[in-house]
Structure 1
Amino acid sequence: MNTHIIKAVILGFTILISCQDSTKNQTKTPSNHTNSKVTDTLIMETFTDKNGQTLELSFNNNKNIVTISLNGETAILQAENAASGFWYKNEQYELRGKGTNIDLKKHDQLIFTHVDSMVTATITNKQGQTLNMVFNNTSNTAKVYLDGGDEIQLNGQTPGSGIWYKNEEYELRGKGEHLELTKNDSVVFKN
């Protein structure tokens, strides 16, 4: 998956399920985790919690509903006005979330939760440059900001050791406290 798709996924997922106006023409974009599928009116997502339990969601933004499937039970929840993120509920279930972090309650008891594993770090080199980094270990992606500049989305690679993230222009490699960010094979940050 390239960085443009990942960026669109996160933004699209949040916008699509937060939107309450069913008359708008919306872009349907799958998220960046397991088993996403998009049809004309549905966004289908599969989440896995830390215990290996699987929750399937089918968002119908035209009808402002989500169909949930967990442990052989299926239910339809209606969209509610959320201050931030998304919120769906019926008499039994309540689904809340923001981005790919979600909680599902049944009769006010939390029965499923999915939270991406995130790590943040900031490093400054001898030249005074600052590199802010946000690593999403669940999706194996990173967002980096050089000197507070634009967000750079990177995808995790398989290094021999240390870390390695890249996109079409940028590459972040490092081991321990030593990091190097390159743009088109030219070093733009090194500590």
Structure 2
Amino acid sequence: MIKRFFVIGMLTTTVVISCKDKQKQGNIDSTATEQTISNDVVTQSLTNKDGETLEMSFDNSKGKATVNFNGESIALNQEMAASGIWYKNEHYDLRGKGNDIWLKKDGEVIFEHQDNKVNVEVKSDKGDVLTMTFNNTAGTVKAYLNGGEQIDLEQKKAASGIWYENDAYELRGKGDHYILTKGRDTVFEN
């Protein structure tokens, strides 16, 4: 009887110590991840249709951005955006999503950049639907086959027509005819 209580006590102690070690390990991993994210500084430069350049530097760990426009350096603080980015100070307001960016000074737009995007939807004889958003500025396309997962492709130099690819997919087309392949298999053709 005493041996049973001793064995049960040892097992209980082992489980408790094991759980505490797991909990400590979880906290260490979480802290390391936060430190990696906190050192994230992103820079980007965009040119508008008038040839003006907006240089931006985002310090995500501090929630700050520095914008250089027309020789002026502007410090902005991050605001909570429903989608995309939003930074501001008492005179300037920077908002955007992706490469579509607007800089306002005292409520007036002083810089605007929007990528040239074209939406195309085509249907095959089998009834499959390929929906594509071409970003002609960035040289990319986001494709969706039958409303499924997003397929991100990058533009390649084609002798004629279009050619986009990633590690798994290739999209080629000319006029209103498109072919999407995965490996050697054709997954869509209209």
Which residue, out of 19, 30, 34, partners 1:25? 34
Partners of 2:35 and 2:51 in 1: CA distance: 32
Aligned twin of 2:186 = 187
Aligned twin of 2:145 = 146
SS in 1 for 2:142: strand
Partners of 1:130 and 1:68 in 2: CA distance: 42
Aligned twin of 2:61 = 62
Shift of 1:75: 1.2
Runs of 4+ in 1 over 6 A off after TM superposition: none
**Alignment partner of 1:120 is 2:122:** no
C-alpha contact 2:121 2:130 (8 A) present in aligned 1:
yes
Indicate the structure (1 or 2) with the bigger Cα radius of gyration. 2
Identity of aligned residues (%): 49
SS in 2 for 1:68: strand
TM-score (norm 1): 0.77
SS in 2 for 1:160: coil
Amino acid of the structure 2 residue aligned with 1:66 = A
Amino acid of the structure 1 residue aligned with 2:34 = N
Shift of 1:187: 1.2
Partners of 2:34 and 2:45 in 1: CA distance: 24
Partners of 1:106 and 1:183 in 2: CA distance: 48
Aligned twin of 2:16 = none
TM-score (norm 2): 0.77
Partners of 2:151 and 2:157 in 1: CA distance: 19
Amino acid of the structure 1 residue aligned with 2:94 = L
Aligned twin of 1:72 = 71
Aligned twin of 1:161 = 160
Shift of 1:27: 6.5
**Structure 1's 165 and 26: CA in aligned 2 closer, same or farther, altered over 3 A?**
farther
Give the unaligned 5+ runs of structure 2. Answer: 1-32
C-alpha contact 2:39 2:61 (8 A) present in aligned 1:
no
SS in 1 for 2:34: coil
Partners of 1:108 and 1:54 in 2: CA distance: 20
Instruction: Please tell me the root mean square deviation across aligned C-alpha atoms, in Å.
Output: 1.8
**Structure 1's 171 and 95: CA in aligned 2 closer, same or farther, altered over 3 A?**
same
**Structure 1's 27 and 123: CA in aligned 2 closer, same or farther, altered over 3 A?**
farther
Greater fraction of residues in helix: 2
SS in 2 for 1:135: strand
Partners of 1:95 and 1:128 in 2: CA distance: 43
The structure whose RCO (Cα within 8 Å, separation 6+) is larger is 1
**Structure 1's 27 and 137: CA in aligned 2 closer, same or farther, altered over 3 A?**
farther
Partners of 2:161 and 2:90 in 1: CA distance: 49
Amino acid of the structure 2 residue aligned with 1:25 = E
Partners of 1:26 and 1:160 in 2: CA distance: 47
- Number of residue pairs matched? 158
